Structure 1
Amino acid sequence: MERFTTLTGIAAPLPLMNIDTDMIIPKQFLKTIKRSGLGKNLFDEMRYADDGSEVEDFVLNQPAYREAQVIVAGDNFGCGSSREHAPWALLDFGIRCVISTSFADIFYNNCFKNGILPVVLPAEAVAILTKDAEKGANARMTIDLDAQTVTSSDGEVFGFEIDSFKKHCLLNGLDDIGLTFEKVGAIDSFEQTASQVRPWV
């Protein structure tokens, strides 16, 4: 998993409440078990018309936001079913951070396991950052995980809280497999001892 340390990038404003996982990646795209290739279908039903053409006024179809790495969203982002394809689709598009006042628990935890930083901030701060994101590609936000800050394009700084273990995992690029590999020495030692004590196993 790619480490998350400091990110400076374009932020797309998406101030809708209750964006659920089916809106993030509709159910018809869940057949794959690959983490790649889902970015083109991110927010599919909002991004594309029935004939497959782009919906021009959807934020990620606008020229200023096609390279967005941050989403500033409304309340309760990632609610609905517990599909891990949702963070896969965000990451494959290029989104590394989502800022909101609140997240659904399962989606929130899945983000950390896939290298995405979900930032929870008060409504007043999210409103300011939404306005900042509306300035377009020339307004870039900076998210510093180590310092636990979000800095607007105007230099306004907002601090956020994060669980220390989740922070450690993101800073070091550790998903569940990576955490297991950190214990390889202890696992090997256990297996060697077990094979000597219980050779019949």
Structure 2
Amino acid sequence: MAGSTKPGLIGLTSIALAVGLGVVLSPSASADTSSDTMSSAILGGALTAVVSAPTRMSPVILDGRSSHASVGRPAVWTITNARGSSAAWSLSVSATDFVSAPGTLDTLERTVAVENLTITPGIVTARTSEGADAAPTTEPVTVSGLPQALVWTSSLGKGTFTLTPGFSLNVPLNAYRSNFSGAIDGSVVNPFVSILTFTIA
């Protein structure tokens, strides 16, 4: 029939228009938003040092011709600055003279002046993988009875640092031997002993 439209096409067109109008005329969705404040307190920790002196230095045999060095290395030192600030800090050392105590046959104590002891801090390693600052400054120290800085920083010394220093005691040519603590055969002696004080501040 002229001018007629197939019923199937009318149905499809009506459905398409209905879907299109539904999208256009539907009310826009409103977003449900909110905001929160998040906080975290970061508190400073401590400034600490785990240090030690060699328990036993290498023995020395006097030969009457020259001085000798008694040497040793302690366990690894660890310095931790967890204060969370750029305040300066230093690790210092002082010590007493080396003394061999009187024995059963030797009635006088013998001494070697503490100024014969040198401590060389060596290489300081910063745990940079954990975000430590650059390694602090070091300097070999001729030890005395007054505190002297071994390791220090003027700023930016946050983090953990490790080092293994070297100790060297110069035994003068005219030094006395250690006192015998028992028989004079020298099998047991009173070694020369010094007390070291380390301060981190």
TM-score, length-normalised on structure 1? 0.19
Higher strand content, 1 or 2? 2
TM-score by length of 2: 0.19
